[in-house]
A and B are shown apart, each in its own frame.
Chain A
């Protein structure tokens, strides 16, 4: 005890002397100046930079984790989250090597990429499905049509549609409370495009959150609440939420049949229109580096296993092979015309001719 006290005492006077401020402040200044002036860059050559969507993040994180372990940590992989839109801004400025995207590249982003002469490969890596959830106390509903969803969510519903019986007279007189992803997320873009018909067009008077756990607790609190959340969040919270079967309408392969979301119905395309593929985009210049090449083939060869481990819905096994072959064959560009293709199956998607 006494010894400890003596040490603490000495340490104290030591700090006291440093902080005598005669030397302290000038030396701190000098150090700060030295740091700033030494801003000569040492590039970190064996680093792979990934950024973008938070939806895709867990898969890329898994790939990065295993790849680094396999390479004995000689190759460094970093994964950031700045949203699909924020990520594309960096990707189209040549700042990142791989972009996580929960929707295809938009027309505006394509222009940015072209301006900076960034060419890229596009490949789907998993499915994501949105689940329409209601409070479990809402016993009088078990399925919903996309037309009813449109009535609820379209921009003109703002301030007007406030009650369930306004959507369909057979529903009771219960206030409607809506919860959904915030306007910056790819999930919101896709949901509005699939339901309202135009990306980003939605009513503004709903509870928006980028954190899906907030949406879960919001919907689970009150009868009459409805929200859309990713499938993985529904599966972890089945005791708190009730999923609605969705009637896809005339464009759906199942027409008027109501379909509940599950891995099965997402893969066979019958859960229409709220399931979609999610992507990674690979910078072509970066791909000429051997470690990026290694990483991409590792990612796509282990895609099925990794996607399952992080509890997402994997693509059909063959899709990963075709995706890798497309990249290796140098098929640059996107198969989309700058907007999402609703209800498109991945097999068809991989066959389409891509363009820049």
Chain B
């Protein structure tokens, strides 16, 4: 008798957990959906070609977000260039090469701590180091480097987690056939764990694209009515654009939200939608790449 009632209770708990899980999932989705809905009702009618191709203006109906979305895109591009190789390489080293001693434990501990540091602190550090010491100025380069440091721990930690899921037997099999450590990583560990790594990259870049505080600290602008120099232009160097001043979508949005006129609030809502869209597009690209990788792996 006792056995049976115990089973019933456990089944009930099982069922209860399902319900709770579903409710929590629902809550998260409803929050996101209501946010999108709220932004849409306020700002969707404002989004058109002119909004995307005009610079900010004191007249809300003439204002656009060209400099902001180009700035956001370039900053994220530069962030990816720095953080993806650095993060993945660091993750590989810590998981596959580093000896387990006091020093590596110390590094690991610090990486985990780094993930918990408020973003404004990174902004202050970047202001002192990148802007003044290295003299990079208040540029896209500084912004890219700052955001790279900010999201580096996310990529390192997820890379390590992803690598850890590869069965040890696969490594041993490869070693057994005479592969070097790097060959094992290159041919087996990395391809098999790339799905998990890319998930980390998605999370990291999604966080970076919404950051405002550290960028304001390093001196991102609020009004800028020109684009960074075209790298293919004739009268400048290919790399000039990375030293250009910039603004990003969240800063433009924040500025419009804090204006007194409600027409600017509509612009802010529209900017929010574009920011959301940009995040989704970046994620979609990453998910597509991940999908390609997963299909090739069979064991």
Contact = CB atoms under 8 A, between A and B. Distances in A.
Interface of A: 12-13, 15-16, 19, 21-22, 25, 28-29, 31-32, 35, 38-39, 41-42, 44, 47, 51, 54, 57-58, 60-62, 64-65, 68, 73, 76-82, 90, 210-213, 230, 232-233, 235-237, 309-311
Contact of A42 (B186, B243, B259, B260): B243
Contacts, number: 122
A62 B243 contact: no
B84 interface: yes
Contact of B81 (A16, A35, A81, A210): A35
A108 B241 CA distance: 37
Most buried by A among B55, B89, B259: B259
B221 interface: yes
Given A58-B259, A65-B58, A213-B257, A42 B225 contact: no
Contacts of A62: 58
A38 B223 contact: no
B292 A15 contact: yes
Given A31-B81, A32-B85, A80-B221, A211 B257 contact: yes
Contact of A21 (B59, B191, B237, B296): B191
Contacts of B136: 39
A21 B186 contact: yes
B236 A42 contact: yes
A57 B59 CA distance: 14
A213 B258 CA distance: 6
Contacts of B206: none
A295 B245 CA distance: 19
Contacts of A310: 58
B135 A41 contact: yes
Given A57-B223, A81-B255, A19 B236 contact: no
A234 to B, nearest CB: 8
A212 B260 contact: yes
B5 interface: no
Contacts of A73: 225-226
Interface in B136-152: 136-137, 141
Contacts of B292: 12-13, 15-16
Contacts of B223: 57, 60-61, 64-65, 77-80
Interface in B245-291: 245, 255, 257-262, 288-289, 291
Contact of B242 (A19, A35, A51): A35
21 contacts: A25-B89, A29-B89, A31-B81, A32-B81, A32-B85, A35-B242, A39-B141, A47-B245, A61-B223, A73-B226, A76-B225, A78-B221, A79-B222, A79-B223, A80-B219, A81-B222, A82-B219, A90-B219, A213-B260, A232-B260, A311-B261
Nearest to B262: A236
A41 B221 contact: no
Contacts of A82: 216, 219
B56 interface: yes
Given A212-B258, A309-B58, A68 B289 contact: no
Contacts of A44: 244
B81 A64 contact: no
Nearest to B63: A65
Nearest to A234: B260
B82 interface: yes
A211 B254 CA distance: 10
Contact of A211 (B239, B258, B261): B258
Nearest to B191: A21
A211 B236 CA distance: 40
Contacts of B221: 78-80
A237 B141 CA distance: 41
Given A42-B243, A61-B222, A213-B257, 11 more contacts: A15-B288, A21-B191, A25-B88, A32-B82, A35-B141, A35-B239, A65-B57, A65-B58, A80-B219, A81-B216, A82-B216
Query: Among B55, B56, B58, B245, which residue has the most Cβ atoms of chain A within 10 A?
Result: B58
Contact of A236 (B85, B258, B260): B260
Contacts of A51: 219
Nearest to A25: B85
A233 B292 CA distance: 53
A190 to B, nearest CB: 18
Contact of A78 (B81, B216, B245, B289): B245
A90 B217 CA distance: 12
B240 interface: yes
A54 B258 contact: yes
B57 A236 contact: no
Q: In this complex, which of A22, A32, A60, A73 has the most chain B Cβ atoms within 10 angstroms of its Cβ?
A: A32
Nearest to B220: A80
A253 to B, nearest CB: 28
B224 interface: yes
Nearest to A79: B223
Interface in B39-82: 55-59, 78, 81-82
B260 A235 contact: yes
B289 A16 contact: yes
A211 B223 CA distance: 18
B100 to A, nearest CB: 24
B278 to A, nearest CB: 19
A230 B259 CA distance: 11
B120 interface: no
A232 B258 CA distance: 12
Contacts of B84: 28
B93 to A, nearest CB: 12
B2 to A, nearest CB: 57
A77 B225 contact: yes
Contacts of B88: 25
